Every structure is written in structure tokens, then in C-alpha cells.
Structure 1
Amino acid sequence: MEFAELIKTPRVDGVVLHRPFMPTVEGTLCLTGHHLILSSRQDNTEELWLLHSNIDSIEKRFVGSVGNIIVKCKDLRVIQLDIPGMDECLNIASSIEALSTLDSVSLMYPFFYRPMFEVIEDGWNSFLPRDAFKDLESMTDEWRLSEVNKDFTVCSSYPPLVAVPKSIDDDTLRKVATFRHGGRFPVLSYYHKKNGMVMMRAGQPLTGTNGRRCKEDEKLINATLRPGKRGYVIDTRTINVAQQAKARGGGFESEGNYPQWRRIHKAIERYNVLQESLIKLVEACSDQSHSMDRWLSKLEASNWQTHIKEILTTACLAAQCIDREGASVLVHGTEGTDSTLQVTSLAQIILDPACRTIKGFQSLVEREWLQAGHPFQQRCAQSAYSNSKPRQEAPVFLLFLDCVWQILRQFPCSFEFNESFLVLLFEHAYASQFGTFLGSCAADRARLSLPEKTVSLWSWVNRPQELEHLTNPLYEANSLVIWPSVAPQSLLLWEGVFLRWNRSSKCLDEAYDEMVHIIEYNKELQNKVNSLRRQLAQLETDDPLLNTP
């Protein structure tokens, strides 16, 4: 298919662009296969380059002979185009709709994008499983890297390499895979070097109504326990939902078959409930006419902060079991690709200071989201403004980033990255020129040859000039476990995402710049103090009389 077939009117002059907090611009609108571009001959005006894949929905209105197209984006921005001529407006609108809903992944912009920057470090090779495993090997010899899934036949959503107990062979893993949802047998997620406890993740066991049992599964997860120790299974579903899953062939670990494991059920919502919550939240944030009571009631009705609280509470529980109880943990929900990953990745941020660095956080996203098989292609197909009926869309990754922001806000000196880094990841998960978030699992990325045909987001992010904008000036390495508060009054609305197009950030930006200036000035003064101390020490050494009282 040629893009030209979908573009009915490639160019229109005299188009007026309205954007939040920016002056109105009149210029020429051009449609390409991947971008909506508006450029103007006016001095000092910034061009608009908008990826079609970032467009969630459009609305058309007509006032006389001028048509208005309201473009609602997946990054929650809303812009308006005033287009002279009804035919041109209708043609542009239908072209945008066609180009923003292309089904074929291989037609997306990352396959056509050529970087304008020098790739110093290839992001596709920055966080390889073998490199991560070397760190594990330096701490323990109880685990091994298995290639049982090298051709993706044992589990279609797992990567080719997974860490499993050394005492468990590949034949056992194949049997366990038949007993777990989607073939997602228990694999290592995190090793806590302080006490040797581990966190694993998996899909639900397929016990069904007959109480099916798998001794290989029991052997695998028991292999992670120390003598005389118990473990915890954290099921991210309520007991009722887990019971109902039995009727569909799913289920949970019965205490009779897993006597050394205590099961805890926590309620984290899925799919449609989360998507509906995002839609309600964005709707509440977009309407400036609310009274205080109406605003607070709409915010509460969205249940967004409740979801944040549930996810953070469960992650804190997992971290507590590992660090304070000295117990290993297995986390799963139904598939093991959504709430499971929220919990395992947030628990690592709480427990592991390395995950709070920029590179460490990138590695965490690679391991616990991209390699672990979170279906980005389905979950991020629509955002809050889409008119089509949700299928498998859900803001699972956005909720995770929101939870990270809540912890960052409570521990502002313990993270090497700043809020801008989290916002950037949100934007690129939904629409990007990079191939990092394309596909839904490692098998998809291998089939699409993404490392060969696209550029990694990390290649761009890890350049010094980009890192400068994403680094937290308050950062001081903190080797301790950090315990976030999940009290309702401790959890705030993430304004940097949900209100950034609704109100100007000018004052906050100025305050941030002033803070950076003060920190730099403080460093200069500290260096002067240290220099003067060295000079004084030298003088005292050279002239003993200075030491005489």
C-alpha cells in the first residue's frame, strides 16, 4: 500500500493553528505518510510536526466556509486547525483518520526514521540479558540462564533467555509451562543481595475446577526457598476473581499442594476498568469550568488515585516480604503481563537503589516490561480521547510511571532522573520515532527485526546533551530501601502529565531553573571552602608558628 493513496489533499495554505500556551500561527499544512506538518513564514514561530500515530481522535466542525479540525493526541494535547474550504477540511480529516489508524506495524514511522544524531551507544545492545545475568552470578551461583525458549515455542511472550533455579532442567520447565497461563512458567525477576531472597513472576496456574496439580511446578518454586523458610504468593486478583478463573481453566496455588507458600490476594484492576478510569480523569482535568466540589467529585469518580494506591500497596507488600520478612515472593495475576509487572518493577525501585539511576531504570523497563512481554502494541493503541470501543487498551504502563512519580516526589533526592524522563517514556510508549516500544513481546521484535531496522530510544536518551535535561539536580545516591507512603493524602495528581496542556508551567519552570542555579552556586561555594581549607592546611604545615596557641 502506498501512503499517497490515503492522502486526498497533501497541502493546504492559509491554515490557522491553535495550541495550548502558544501564539496562534497561520501557515501551510502538509500531510506526509507519517506526519502532520504546519509551517509558517512568520518569524520566530515553531513548526508543528505531529506523528499520525500520536493522534487519538479528531472532531470536525464548520463555521461558514471554514472548517475546524480538533486533533486530540495520545499525549493528551489538544490542538485546533482552522482550514479554509469545506472540501479541503473533509479531505484532510479523512486522510488523518486513515493515516492515524494504520494496522500494519511495519508501516509505522520507526521503520522510516533515520537519526539526525550520531549513535554513540546502540541502545539495542545496552541491556542484554547475559550482561544482567553476570551481575547476578557475582552474587550467587544458585541460578542459571536457560535457552529453553530460544525459538519462542515454550512461551510466546517470554524472551529467548530466562533466569531459573540451577537445579531445574529444561525438560521440567517445559512441563511447568503447560501448567501456567500462556506458558509463563515462574522466572526470576529480582535477587535481593542483602539476604538472598528472590522475587519471581509467572502466569496463573491452570488448576481448573478439578484442582489439577503439577509436581514440576511445585518443585520449581520450592527450589527458590531456603531450608526452613516460607514464601509468599502475591496474587493480584481478589479471591473471588481467582475462584471464578477456575471455571475458565485458570486458578491459584492451593495450600495443600504448596504448603510452604502463603497466598495473599490483592485487588489490582485490569483492562477496561483502567481505560475507563483514564478517560474519566482526563475528562475531569480538561474541563476548566468545574466548581471545586464538582472537580473533586469527578476526580474521585475516576478512581485513578485508588488504582495508584492499590498498585503501590501491593508493591510495598512484596518488598516488605523480601526485605523485612526475609521471604521469597512469587507474583502473578491472570496472564502475568500487566499488574504482575507493575508490582515486580515497583518493588525493585523500593528495594534496589540501582533502579533509581537513569541507566538502572532503563534496564528495569527493558527487563520487566519489554523483555517480560507487556503487550505495548495493544495496551497503548488508544489513549484517553479515542472514539472507538476499547479492546485491549489500558494505561498499565502509565499507571506504573505515575506510581514511580509518586515515589520520586516523596524521595526527591533518591532518584538520578527527574520527572521529564518519566513524561518522555509515557510519550514514546504511545507514539515514537524509535522502535523500542513497538511490538508486544521479544518474539514480535525479533520477527520485525527491530534492532536491525529501527533506532532504540536509549540510543537517543543516553547522549550527554539529552541526559543533561533528564538528570535530577537534587540526586544523592541513597543505598537504603525507601518506603513510600500510600496514605491518601500522600498521593497527588500527576500534574506534569494530566494538567500540562491545561495550565502554563512557566512559574514552575522558572522555580526549577532557580533551584538549579542555587545548587550550582552552592557547589561553587563548597569548592571554594574546600580550596581554602587545603590552603590553610598547607600554610600550617609550612609555618609551625601558626599552630602555636
Structure 2
Amino acid sequence: MLRSSQPLTGPNRRRCREDELLLGTVLDEGEQGFIIDTRSAQAAKQARMTGGGTEPKSFYPQWRRLHRPLERGRPLQESFIKLVEACSDSSISMDRWLSRLESCRWLSHVKAALSTACLAAQCLDREKANVLVHGAEGTDTTLLVTALAQVILEPSCRTLLGFQGLLEREWIEAGHPFHLRCAHSAYSHARLKQEAPLFLLFLDCVWQLSRQFPFSLEFSEQLLLTLFDSAYASAYGTFLCNNEKERCLCKVKESTHSLWAWLNQPGEKKKYLNPLYTHNPLVTWPSVEPQSIQLWQGLFLRWIRSSQYLDEAWAEIQYLVESH
């Protein structure tokens, strides 16, 4: 699986022979690859007017382009804000609450992300084909899809250390602009143009996987909650800045501590492990039917509903597992 930004073909449909050669070397003669574009066909076409574009079929004859549009900017942030507002309003009736939950469309974004990741995984696993994923810059929905596909396909990415490596590789080193995307929370009055909860959407999708496959992920919901908190406000430098260049200029590694070093301490690590985990070598194909996608209550309702009884239940499960 490959990832990139969009080709810069522009309105004159410029060629890039280096790109053509690179993608040509990936495939053997007679093989077909898939390009999953996370923009709509119309958006990709419009991008040509500002210097972007898509891969022309005539220059990439062995590659089939599939458009699977995913929201990444203001609409996604507004969806997040509306969901948080609905979850914070305890005065509304159940019917009104369900109506607001549906109208915010957050669960639709979760479904779309999982569906697109499944498409990439199917191309790799069932078609045995090479896959290139890109949207516009290649640092938002592109990373969402490639990271999710790896969690679905790779058992190693479902371990605690493997998942940390995945985040480091597919989000941090790949240049997801955390500083811009996670500048404020949904409670902020500021409405910054660059804000968008792509990383939260990824964590939500992973939580959906953990709920559907409760024995297959070595880490627990607590890790996902900690990662969400750390992306928005953290005592560690792991999610600071927008890319590696900025982190080098700010000397982040020299001036801050790593979140991973803290999480992997023996005393801390135990808090983030799933006591029900059993190694599963199979692909974890998630269901994306409406009844299968649920609200992540542990995050969105954690300040409204007490988790005391759930925490006690998990502690009891952990005790039973360790005592046997």
C-alpha cells in the first residue's frame, strides 16, 4: 500500500514522467493497481484549476481510480461541534436527542471512513493488488484510510507497541498537522479554518473495531481516550507541531518527553491493556451497517455519565484473568 499527495497536473494536464515510472515499477506486466482518491470526482476535477488533479488514465493504464469522498475540513469540525453540543444538553427528550445525533452526521463520517478503509484492505487482501491512497495534500484523509486499513489487516498493528508504531509512522512522521487540526476543542468559541478532528475520527473508528472484536486488540479504550486528550492538550511532545521540520526547528525531542516512553513504563502499561486480548491472525472485517456503528459513549458522554460501574467491571475482569 502506497500513499501520496495529489498529482500536480493542473489545468493543462501536465505529465510527470517520474511519477509514471515510479507507479509503473510497482506493477508487473498485466497487473492492475487501484488508486483510492478520498475526494469526490468533482472535487478532484476542480482541483486542476488550482494546480492539482488526478492521474490521467492514458498515462497510468494499469491503475484504476476509485473515488471515495471523505470530509476533512470545516464540515467535519462542524459535525464534531454539533455532536458535543447534543451530548452536553441533558434537558432534551430522547426523540430530540436522537434527531440531533442523526443531524450532526458524525456516525456517517465514521461509517464512510471504515468503508473506505475496508475497500483498501479488500484490494490488498482479496484482490492481491497494489493500492495507492491519496486525497489532496496526503496528510489528512489519506492517513486516516491507510492507518485504518493496517489495523484491519495486520495483527501486529493491533498490539500496544504495534499501534504506537503505526501512529508514529502513519500520523506523526507522515506529517499530519496536529497543531492546526487540534488547535481547539469543540467547546471553543474560536472557529479556525484549519481545524478538523481527523485524528479523533480515526480513534473513533478504532474504538468501533475494538467493540466489534473485543478479543482482537491488545490495548483498551483507555489508551484511545489518552491519545485523544494528548492530541489536544498534553504534557508530552509527541503530538506537537505540524510536521517533522517544525519539530526539528522547535527541538521537540530535546525539550520534551515522549508519550510512548511514559505509556510503556511497567506501572503505566497495565492500565492500557485489554485483559480479554487473544492474538487473532485473521483480518478483522468490521460491519458498517447502521446498527453496527455506535456512539463512542466513553468519550462523548464521559463528563455526563459516570463510568464507575464499567471501570469496576473491567477491574473484576482483569482480576479474574490474572488469577487464572
Please report the TM-score for the alignment, with normalisation by the length of structure 1. Answer: 0.58
Offset of 1:511 from its aligned partner?
A: 1.8
* Counterpart secondary structure, 1:488: coil
Looking at structure 1, the residues matched to 290 and 267 of structure 2 have their Cα atoms a distance apart, in angstroms, of 38
Offset of 1:249 from its aligned partner?
A: 1.3
Q: Which structure is higher in helix share?
A: 2
Looking at structure 1, the residues matched to 236 and 43 of structure 2 have their Cα atoms a distance apart, in angstroms, of 38
1:329 pairs with 2:136: no
Looking at structure 1, the residues matched to 28 and 149 of structure 2 have their Cα atoms a distance apart, in angstroms, of 21
From 246, 249, 253, the counterpart of 2:55? 253
Between the two proteins, what is the percent identity of the paired residues? Answer: 59
Offset of 1:227 from its aligned partner?
A: 3.1
Looking at structure 1, the residues matched to 206 and 134 of structure 2 have their Cα atoms a distance apart, in angstroms, of 20
From 17, 23, 34, the counterpart of 1:221? 23
Structure having the higher Rg: 1
1:378 pairs with 2:180: yes
Residue identity opposite 1:345 in structure 2 = A
Residue identity opposite 2:27 in structure 1 = L
For 1:269-284, what aligned pairs fall within 5 Å after superposition?
269-284=71-86
Looking at structure 2, the residues matched to 280 and 209 of structure 1 have their Cα atoms a distance apart, in angstroms, of 37
Offset of 1:297 from its aligned partner?
A: 0.6
1:360 pairs with 2:162: yes
* Counterpart secondary structure, 1:308: helix
- Structure 2 residue aligned with 1:391: 193
- Structure 2 residue aligned with 1:502: 304
Give the aligned length: 324
Looking at structure 1, the residues matched to 158 and 204 of structure 2 have their Cα atoms a distance apart, in angstroms, of 15
Deviations 1:51-100 (A, max 9, x none): xxxxxxxxxxxxxxxxxxxxxxxxxxxxxxxxxxxxxxxxxxxxxxxxxx
Looking at structure 2, the residues matched to 362 and 251 of structure 1 have their Cα atoms a distance apart, in angstroms, of 33
User: Relative contact order (alpha carbons < 8 A, sep ≥ 6): 1 or 2 greater?
Assistant: 2
Deviations 1:419-443 (A, max 9, x none): 0001000000111111111111111
- Structure 2 gaps of 5+ residues are none
Residue identity opposite 1:467 in structure 2 = K
Looking at structure 1, the residues matched to 173 and 162 of structure 2 have their Cα atoms a distance apart, in angstroms, of 15
Offset of 1:266 from its aligned partner?
A: 0.3
From 254, 257, 277, the counterpart of 1:452? 254
Looking at structure 2, the residues matched to 392 and 320 of structure 1 have their Cα atoms a distance apart, in angstroms, of 32
1:265 pairs with 2:67: yes
Looking at structure 1, the residues matched to 319 and 174 of structure 2 have their Cα atoms a distance apart, in angstroms, of 41
- Structure 2 residue aligned with 1:200: 2
Offset of 1:479 from its aligned partner?
A: 1.2
Looking at structure 2, the residues matched to 210 and 321 of structure 1 have their Cα atoms a distance apart, in angstroms, of 31
Deviations 1:122-176 (A, max 9, x none): xxxxxxxxxxxxxxxxxxxxxxxxxxxxxxxxxxxxxxxxxxxxxxxxxxxxxxx
Deviations 1:212-241 (A, max 9, x none): 111111111121113321100000011111
- Structure 1 gaps of 5+ residues are 1-198, 524-549
- Structure 2 residue aligned with 1:132: none
* Counterpart secondary structure, 2:26: coil
Looking at structure 2, the residues matched to 310 and 262 of structure 1 have their Cα atoms a distance apart, in angstroms, of 20
Q: Which structure is higher in strand share?
A: 1
- Structure 1 residue aligned with 2:279: 477
Offset of 1:307 from its aligned partner?
A: 0.4
Offset of 1:516 from its aligned partner?
A: 2.0
* Counterpart secondary structure, 2:193: coil
Offset of 1:509 from its aligned partner?
A: 1.5
Please report the TM-score for the alignment, with normalisation by the length of structure 2. Answer: 0.98
Residue identity opposite 1:371 in structure 2 = E
- Structure 2 residue aligned with 1:298: 100
1:286 pairs with 2:99: no
1:340 pairs with 2:142: yes
Offset of 1:453 from its aligned partner?
A: 1.2
After superposition, the CA RMSD in angstroms is 0.9
Deviations 1:301-336 (A, max 9, x none): 111000001110000000000010010000000110
For 1:300-319, what aligned pairs fall within 5 Å after superposition?
300-319=102-121
For 1:72-111, what aligned pairs fall within 5 Å after superposition?
none
* Counterpart secondary structure, 1:263: strand
Offset of 1:490 from its aligned partner?
A: 0.4
Deviations 1:418-472 (A, max 9, x none): 0000100000011111111111111111111111111111110000011110000
Offset of 1:519 from its aligned partner?
A: 2.4
1:486 pairs with 2:304: no
* Counterpart secondary structure, 1:208: coil
* Counterpart secondary structure, 1:295: helix
Residue identity opposite 1:505 in structure 2 = S
Looking at structure 1, the residues matched to 226 and 68 of structure 2 have their Cα atoms a distance apart, in angstroms, of 30
Looking at structure 2, the residues matched to 214 and 334 of structure 1 have their Cα atoms a distance apart, in angstroms, of 17
- Structure 2 residue aligned with 1:151: none
Deviations 1:99-120 (A, max 9, x none): xxxxxxxxxxxxxxxxxxxxxx
From 205, 208, 212, the counterpart of 1:406? 208
1:212 pairs with 2:14: yes
Residue identity opposite 1:262 in structure 2 = R
Deviations 1:402-432 (A, max 9, x none): 0000001111111110000010000001111
